[in-house]
Structure 1
């Protein structure tokens, strides 16, 4: 093998590995440092020039009209309790409307909607034809005239003050969308000890501080109705696309962690895996269908999009390329042979840990994290193949989440 080919393969292996390490480990540190420096600059401006460093908030008693939009499919298990949850929100009743559409549900979802038809705050629509979530969202939004749209799910439950927390941020005219915080509830209560979940919340908080928030949490987010753009009928990651469409207009997306919503976690990692595959397909769909997310969003958003999203979506492909390049180089280098063995053992160990988790065994937290990351990257790999082969649709994918 010629020297330049060896050099090229070595560079490919190193760059691919570093790209993955950067996205998962280095980017959070860079984000924190940049956000801290920006906050320090704002604080200095406040002290020296008396520039206000905090965003405006809505004045009590001056709450705008809000439309809560929910597309539901076979949600008889949650819907009645969800409607009660909406009616119990701390928000002026005359400025709150919930538009809930049953997308050709085969259970009692439409019947439950009809039972709540007497309350003017609940507007239920029992669509007989199953069209997919994106189509139902388009339909429901077309029936609203409220200036703010709040999107959520039938199996999500807001804290009483969550809506006011979301809406308050729109007092700043530069804000086009606000996402709240989803708290996952396990069988034994709060599930916030997941390291990966905590890191995602960390990233979301500091990306918001830099004006680089990516997408929204589909369980609880809001946008200005004037910034709504109808979705393609087969859209899978509707929440991500709705929010990024807002960012592509130049409006700000912000994160409001005080706006809480709760949702149950899947009982089995296998169920979560299928959900991850579907989300992964939606990620690749958005990446290839919407180049404007890279071309028309603010520079900070583009930087975060590549660092936080794109590199993670293609991480398994990068790891495979790195392993293949290392294996070729291993034939003539002890160092590369060791590097190849280390990579193979790492992936094999993570796969074994995942197998143990699926059998219900409790492992130390580092091994649990390794199992989760292996499952996540395997899901992205499967998703990329299914998207490339066209083996997907915009129809509903049912899990407990």
Structure 2
């Protein structure tokens, strides 16, 4: 849809526009910043969930010639911080319960409750990914007197990580701990470790390096293997030292799966061994050593807090996005199902034998208005197509202050029934209202100056006016310059999105927009609603909503085809769709009172406005999340499920697109570019809509914008005569109004 032009002028108004123009780049920047923030949140979420960094390799046992014998034969606590490696055992009648892999939001609180119930302390070896996601549980551990140790950031076998990888695992684990509880720890347990005597030539260098970094490495004496879920009684048996009264470090888990048996085992283990004289303490209490915790202050503390806060935000944002994707998926599928159902019903209705809008076909003359602003490259083709109409027409070209000789070109054609009305540059609504004032007939067709009609277009467009309740008719706008990739994408959009939608809205009696490229109005209806309004940038949507609220019926004439020149560059497409989406928002806001009104206005307000708001303003803003999560799934996983879901959505869209092309009798070849359109074109439309939202919410104003035209659409493309379908009206019947539309081409 082209717009008639921009208002020009100088003085204070021009200065104000220049000031607004200087602020405009911020509106282009804000959508990009929002996308960048969203991407950062998703990347952080993937980072803390270890969905692309996790290394699940586990090195098999190897030789142990390099491991000191006294270390392999010593206790479970290995200290390599001094000149000579040393190991320690816990005293008799002392059990140090250690829990790995947490904290878990379901099981860690239950473990802590049991420990508090029996006045026992323990050591929790937390991973950075879990500590960052559940910092409150780490704070509770520290506050209740338990010790916290490091278990790496995302649980890899450090023998595969090297020096830099090990440093990264330790530093990120400490960062999460500092952010969660404000402390650093000197305790460390390597993943996939067991007893000290299991140290070999691959794992000993890791233990030595970690010790040089200031950590005590904690192995275990007793491994309950509670992850096997052998039963609470068996877990208790494995947690009790074989030698009566001996001390031990016991390995348990508070995360990684169903830990109900571990919790049940604690309920038996703690009181039974307490009766035997055992104490359940933290490691440093058992060893009579200084606390493993060191309070952190200053910049390191704030770095940790910022990290944990960012993780919390990313978790919440992702949860909201997942819900939004689910809602969007349901809406998309429901919309497609509704479109298919109602479009099929619409097609059967208008093509069934004997269908007619009224008792007699409409044959009276029609006024065609062509608002034109600098349309020198297109206007001759437009006017010639109207002169070839098989319906009697009066053509009024309203020249809206063109500076390229548009009016002179029309006059030089000397076509009968065509006249030019000149006016100063005032904008498209003013041009159309001026044309209405000069119109001689009670039926008015409006089109754009870059559009070409078929000979039968006007006739097909005005037939619904045989029904006196019809106040306006939307035609079938089609892309004429579809040979480029951008043109092909818009062609798919026009056939699938616009025209399939119009069939659905026609059946629901809440058509939102009569396209500026091809629409017809009853003059009485125009006068009753006050003509074309300048209140919004989408005067076609505005007037359509006004028609509904005034009680008029607005219908869709699929055979009234108009071939328009679509934008041929991304910049022009952006400009056009930005104006459309912003204008649609303006029109919805202008007619919002219809939601609470009675009669026809209330019906449109409670049916049409919610559908338009949902499908044209909200859902398109959420639809790209499907592609965002496709990329997320490809990077972070699960890849197969993600690809399958995306292909499923694409398949549904392909079915709808193919059906829409079949209804419009269009060749299917352009659907080859549908997958690429869904990946690239939809993102562009998303950013445009987001920019429109920002403009609306910030109180910005958008000017009329003129797209550069090339005159690429010279005539309506010739179509092969279609096969007659059962139920199609024969040429000359009441439903066909005298000619086969598909055979009518420009000559």
Flag whether TM exceeds 0.5 (same fold).
yes
Pick one of 513, 516, 520 that aligns with 1:215: 513
Stretches of structure 1 that go unaligned for 5 or more consecutive residues are: 47-51, 327-336, 347-362
Distance in 2 separating the partners of 1:316 and 1:182: 21
Distance in 2 separating the partners of 1:161 and 1:82: 14
SS in 2 for 1:379: helix
Q: Could you report, residue by residue, the CA deviation over 1:209-262 in whole angstroms, capped at 9, with x for unpaired residues?
A: 332322112111111111113233353112112222111122211111111111
User: How many angstroms does 1:282 deviate by?
Assistant: 0.7
| Structure 1 contact 97–122 (Cα < 8 Å) conserved | yes
SS in 1 for 2:567: coil
Pick one of 394, 397, 420 that aligns with 1:124: 420
| Structure 1 contact 132–396 (Cα < 8 Å) conserved | no
Pick one of 64, 88, 98 that aligns with 2:395: 98
Pick one of 445, 449, 452 that aligns with 1:154: 449
SS in 2 for 1:314: helix
Alignment partner, residue 281 of structure 1: 582
Residues 380 and 263 (structure 1), Cα distance of their counterparts in 2 relative to 1, 3 Å cut: same
1:85 correspondence with 2:389:
no
| Structure 1 contact 162–259 (Cα < 8 Å) conserved | yes
Residues 400 and 294 (structure 1), Cα distance of their counterparts in 2 relative to 1, 3 Å cut: farther
SS in 2 for 1:235: coil
| Structure 1 contact 216–240 (Cα < 8 Å) conserved | yes
Alignment partner, residue 649 of structure 2: none
Pick one of 181, 184, 196 that aligns with 2:479: 184
Distance in 2 separating the partners of 1:37 and 1:65: 31
1:376 correspondence with 2:685:
yes
User: How many angstroms does 1:378 deviate by?
Assistant: 0.7
Distance in 2 separating the partners of 1:37 and 1:222: 23
Q: Could you report, residue by residue, the CA deviation over 1:344-398 in whole angstroms, capped at 9, with x for unpaired residues?
A: xx9xxxxxxxxxxxxxxxx963132221111111101112222344543453432
User: How many angstroms does 1:151 deviate by?
Assistant: 0.7
Pick one of 364, 369, 381 that aligns with 1:69: 369
Distance in 2 separating the partners of 1:69 and 1:58: 28
Distance in 2 separating the partners of 1:310 and 1:84: 40
Residues 159 and 321 (structure 1), Cα distance of their counterparts in 2 relative to 1, 3 Å cut: closer
Alignment partner, residue 112 of structure 1: 409
1:199 correspondence with 2:199:
no
Greater gyration radius = 2
Distance in 2 separating the partners of 1:293 and 1:321: 31
Pick one of 329, 333, 344 that aligns with 1:21: 329
Distance in 1 separating the partners of 2:621 and 2:677: 22
Pick one of 288, 313, 319 that aligns with 2:617: 313
Pick which of 157-166 and 129-138 moved more. 129-138
User: How many angstroms does 1:181 deviate by?
Assistant: 0.7
Pick which of 69-78 and 134-143 moved more. 134-143
SS in 2 for 1:186: coil
User: How many angstroms does 1:75 deviate by?
Assistant: 0.3
Q: Could you report, residue by residue, the CA deviation over 1:325-354 in whole angstroms, capped at 9, with x for unpaired residues?
A: x9xxxxxxxxxx989xx8xxx9xxxxxxxx
Pick which of 69-78 and 295-304 moved more. 295-304
Residues 160 and 269 (structure 1), Cα distance of their counterparts in 2 relative to 1, 3 Å cut: same
Alignment partner, residue 256 of structure 1: 557
| Structure 2 contact 578–688 (Cα < 8 Å) conserved | yes
Distance in 2 separating the partners of 1:380 and 1:399: 22
More relative contact order in 1 or in 2 (CA 8 Å, sep 6+)?
1
Distance in 2 separating the partners of 1:193 and 1:381: 19
Distance in 2 separating the partners of 1:240 and 1:292: 16
| Structure 2 contact 374–406 (Cα < 8 Å) conserved | yes
Residues 373 and 304 (structure 1), Cα distance of their counterparts in 2 relative to 1, 3 Å cut: farther
Residues 321 and 195 (structure 1), Cα distance of their counterparts in 2 relative to 1, 3 Å cut: closer
Distance in 1 separating the partners of 2:317 and 2:705: 42
User: How many angstroms does 1:305 deviate by?
Assistant: 3.9
Q: Could you report, residue by residue, the CA deviation over 1:131-151 in whole angstroms, capped at 9, with x for unpaired residues?
A: 111121122212224211111
Distance in 2 separating the partners of 1:135 and 1:166: 23
Aligned positions of 1:163-178 closer than 5 A = 163-178=458-473
Residues 197 and 115 (structure 1), Cα distance of their counterparts in 2 relative to 1, 3 Å cut: closer
| Structure 2 contact 342–503 (Cα < 8 Å) conserved | no
Distance in 2 separating the partners of 1:13 and 1:191: 31
| Number of equivalenced pairs | 357
Distance in 2 separating the partners of 1:379 and 1:170: 36
Alignment partner, residue 352 of structure 1: none
Pick one of 533, 549, 566 that aligns with 1:265: 566
Pick which of 139-148 and 21-30 moved more. 21-30
Residues 209 and 6 (structure 1), Cα distance of their counterparts in 2 relative to 1, 3 Å cut: same
SS in 2 for 1:188: coil
Give the root-mean-square deviation of aligned CA atoms.
4.1
Residues 97 and 293 (structure 1), Cα distance of their counterparts in 2 relative to 1, 3 Å cut: farther
| Structure 1 contact 134–234 (Cα < 8 Å) conserved | no
Distance in 2 separating the partners of 1:233 and 1:193: 27
Distance in 2 separating the partners of 1:36 and 1:114: 45
Alignment partner, residue 171 of structure 2: none
SS in 2 for 1:77: coil
Alignment partner, residue 539 of structure 2: 238
| Structure 2 contact 480–563 (Cα < 8 Å) conserved | yes
